[in-house]
Structure formats: structure tokens, C-alpha cells
Copies of this chain bind each other. A is one copy, B any other.
């Protein structure tokens, strides 16, 4: 097969980890007889510096004409403590999600046996955890009307959902549950929020179309607790944008493998694949960032093209690297630490 992949390296360690994912993907392409054309494009603070906005039209055109987007990380500390900054890297991310119709953020949390000790949780709590969040990504309070009134003294953010938005996300949730253990948890705050009541009634109405799936409904605060207590009691979880933001990040740290967690954002034909970690500015340019989450995001990309074997080859290479200690300093535990590039090279040579 032939693919065009838009390559959005972004800020901080983004370019370094993306470079490794490219290497590994190229090795996979060679092995399985595919042809990948990479189309680099600007995004994030890097794009603000170059052309004044975080998701330039040119970048969008490149994404639109590609088969997938491989994304590094964006964000720069100089924007974070300035509530009045007019242009921010994050705006680019939101604009991109909306423009590409990426309404479903797929966030798996799983464990690597060799990393269990890294988890802040006790082994018996975390062992066997393998859950996936589907976070709605283009609606809710992120995209509702927001602003000030009373001369700036009052601020507001509107959270809006339509039934159709809930349905298309929930459909992906039911379908994913069917390929796994047929358990779906709908996370909401239906005891307080009208949008949550719409979520709950919409999902309830869809249950009859998936008679094999067992659906549970839990409040977001209860899930925030149970994720820490019994993460392995969950399988597929669906939720709205803001709850998903908070809970997927919470879930990511319980595994002990946060630096290794990939993600996919799906919707239209073009999927976006990115590590869940941030741009980690302190590590920039030092060849110390862990590239595995980005490499595993490339695995999700192949799998989303229907190329399961290709994805598996990448996952197995990552597993071997972990087992053999071919890891960056975050995982080295006092042992030998390899550089970002060296880990990338090893993975490319071993897929």
C-alpha cells in the first residue's frame, strides 16, 4: 500500500520523538512492502513563531490531503502563565481537531509487566489493567460560546451537546466493546448536568442495538475514585470532552507506563496519532526523551489502516526493547540509559 502521512512534530521534544517513529514506520514499510511519503508541516508554538498561528491553513491542507497525521507534542511554558495571551499553541490543537472532524479520542491504558513496579499503585491493584477511554473531542465546553461580560468581571463557558454528537461517539464505544469484553461504561454527571442527562438517555436508547454489550452508568466523581482503586475493573469507557481530559490523564499515570501511552483521534477518514505525553520543554534537544509512546502511536496508525500485523510487529519490538533494557533514562532505573535516537534505531532494526 501507499500512504501519505502528514508529520506534525510540534514543540519541545516533539521533533525528536517523531524522528524515531518515522524511522520505525519506514522499517515496517520496507518489511511489509508499503510506501510512505511523509509530509512535514508546522504546528504549535513552532508555527506561531514561524507564521503567527498555531494551525496554519497550509498545515491543514497537508493534513486534509494525507491518509493520516502523525503528531508529536505541542505547548510551550511561555504561554502557560499568561492568561491574556491572544494566540496559544492549544488553540491550534482545538482548531485542528475540529477542522479534521476528530471527534473520538481513543486513549488506551495498559500495563507492561516489566514496568509494573513503576506504578504508584500496588501491584495487585494495577496488574492486568487494560482499559480504553473514548473521549469526545470536538464538542462540549471546549467548543461552546465563551467570553466575558460586565466589563470583564463575569466569565462564561457554555457546554453544549447534540444527540447526534453523543450517538456517533457512543457508536464507536459500542463497536469497540464488541471487539473486547463487551463491557461499556458511560461516564457522566447526570445527577447535575443536562448535557449528561442527554448523554445518558442517548446511550440508554442505543443499548437495544447491541444486546450483547453490558452497559453501566457511573458519575464522573465515582470513576475518578474507582480508577485509582480498581482500574482493572474497567474495559471500554465513553465520556464527554472535559471529563475525558481529566480521567484519561488520571488513568495514564496509574499504569506506571505513562511515558509509553499512545493515542488515536478518529472521526473522518483521516486519523491522528500521537503520544499522550506533552512537549516536555526541559528535555528538549537532549536526546533523552522516551520515543516509545510515539512509536506505539505509529502502531495504532497501521492498525487503523487495517494492518494488524504491522502494528503487532511494532508492539513486539517495543516489548523486546523493554525486556532487554534498551530504554531511555526515565526507565533505566540506575541501569544503562540509551538515547532517544539509539532506542529509535534499535526498534527500527528489530521490527
Residues of A within 8 A of B (CB): 79-81, 83-84, 88, 90, 94, 120-122, 125, 141-142, 144, 146-148, 150, 152-164, 189-195, 197-198, 200-201, 204, 217, 220-222, 224-225, 227-229, 242-243, 245-247, 249-250, 252-254, 258
CA distance A225 to B276 in the complex (A): 12
Known: A84-B201, A150-B162, A228-B254. Is A156-B194 also a contact (CB below 8 A)?
A: yes
Known: A156-B158, A156-B159, A192-B94. Is A249-B224 also a contact (CB below 8 A)?
A: yes
CA distance A165 to B195 in the complex (A): 24
Known: A83-B201, A197-B83, A253-B229. Is A162-B158 also a contact (CB below 8 A)?
A: no
Looking at the assembled complex, report how far the CB atom of A230 sits from the nearest CB atom of chain B, in whole angstroms: 8
Known: A90-B191, A224-B224, A225-B253. Is A200-B156 also a contact (CB below 8 A)?
A: no
The 22 sampled A-B contact pairs (Cβ below 8 Å) are A83-B201, A84-B197, A84-B201, A120-B122, A121-B122, A121-B228, A122-B122, A141-B159, A146-B194, A154-B160, A155-B194, A155-B198, A156-B160, A157-B195, A224-B224, A224-B246, A224-B247, A224-B250, A225-B252, A229-B253, A243-B246, A250-B250
